[in-house]
């Protein structure tokens, strides 16, 4: 699916379909290459996309290869036009599956797996400073279903409304996929 264009407000439409019950709606699940093509329109945006790809590479290197990331914030808005500034970061909420090595050998999760999870993937201040990403993450298998649903609903309600105006808006979702990330990195190199 292609990312719809910005509305006159500078926001992605919350619904891209023809009526209020159409399933063509936010979050728009697109590939990293589609994200690069749609929103990698300035050097600043391209830098943020490279940072996002570096964060994802860190995950892949440690076995986090299955999941989805929801992307939001000024990065998924036409902030240059409607606010006269560049995006400051990308807001990232990741739903991830535990790496297979910890599923096969749960005793290795503590301390090695947990330390990497808490110290790298979930470390929002560190990821803000090194990647310019505002990161949050949960392990799908690590929480009761009702808490997982509640977390997803929380992030959906947060990401589907603009922070200052509370205007309803769309946002983006990208599956973890190393091959697609490699294509996106190539696309960034040619821009």
68-109 pLDDT, tens digit per residue, is 999 999 999 999 999 999 999 999 999 999 999 999 998 888
Q: What residue numbers bound the domain in which 156 lies?
A: 28-190
Number of domains composing the chain: 1
C-alpha 19/C-alpha 11 separation (Å) is 18
What pLDDT does 190 receive?
56
Cis peptide before 130 (omega within 30 of 0): no
- Evaluate if residue 1 carries a pLDDT over 70: no
- Evaluate if residue 111 carries a pLDDT over 90: no
Residue 20 lies in a domain: no
What pLDDT does 163 receive?
84
Mean of the per-residue pLDDT values of the chain:
92
- Evaluate if residue 160 carries a pLDDT over 60: yes
b or e along 69-103 (b: 16 or more beta carbons within 10 Å of the residue's beta carbon)? bbbbbbbbbbbbeeeeeebebbbbbbbbbbbeebe
Average pLDDT over residues 172-186: 95
Q: To the nearest whole percent, how much of the chain has pLDDT over 70?
A: 98
What pLDDT does 21 receive?
75
Residue 4 lies in a domain: no
- Evaluate if residue 23 carries a pLDDT over 60: yes
Average pLDDT over residues 129-155: 93
**pLDDT tens digits for range 32-55:** 999 999 999 999 999 999 999 999
Label the pairing between strands 172-175 and 67-72: antiparallel
Residue 19 lies in a domain: no
Residue 22 lies in a domain: no
Token pair for 169: 């808006």
**Can you give the pTM of this predicted structure?**
0.94
Residue 118 lies in a domain: yes
What pLDDT does 171 receive?
92
Residue 92 lies in a domain: yes
Q: For tokens 């290459």, what's the residue?
A: 33
């Amino acid at each position: 699916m292609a990312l719809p264009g910005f509305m006159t407000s500078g926001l992605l439409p919350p619904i891209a379909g023809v009526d209020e019950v159409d399933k063509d709606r936010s979050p728009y699940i697109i590939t990293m290459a589609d994200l690069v093509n749609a929103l990698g329109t300035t050097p600043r945006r391209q830098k943020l996309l490279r940072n996002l790809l570096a964060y994802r590479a860190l995950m892949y290197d440690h076995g986090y290869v299955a999941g989805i990331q929801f992307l939001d914030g000024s990065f998924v808005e036409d902030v240059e036009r409607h606010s006269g500034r560049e995006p400051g970061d990308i807001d990232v909420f990741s739903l991830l599956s535990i790496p297979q090595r910890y599923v096969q050998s749960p005793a290795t999760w503590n301390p090695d797996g947990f330390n990497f999870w808490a110290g790298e993937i979930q470390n929002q201040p560190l990821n803000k400073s090194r990647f310019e990403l505002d990161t949050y993450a949960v392990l799908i298998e690590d929480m009761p279903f009702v808490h997982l649903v509640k977390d997803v609903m929380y992030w959906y309600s947060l990401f589907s409304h603009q922070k200052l105006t509370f205007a309803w808006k769309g946002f983006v979702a990208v599956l973890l996929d190393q091959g697609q990330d490699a294509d996106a990195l190539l696309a960034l190199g040619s821009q």
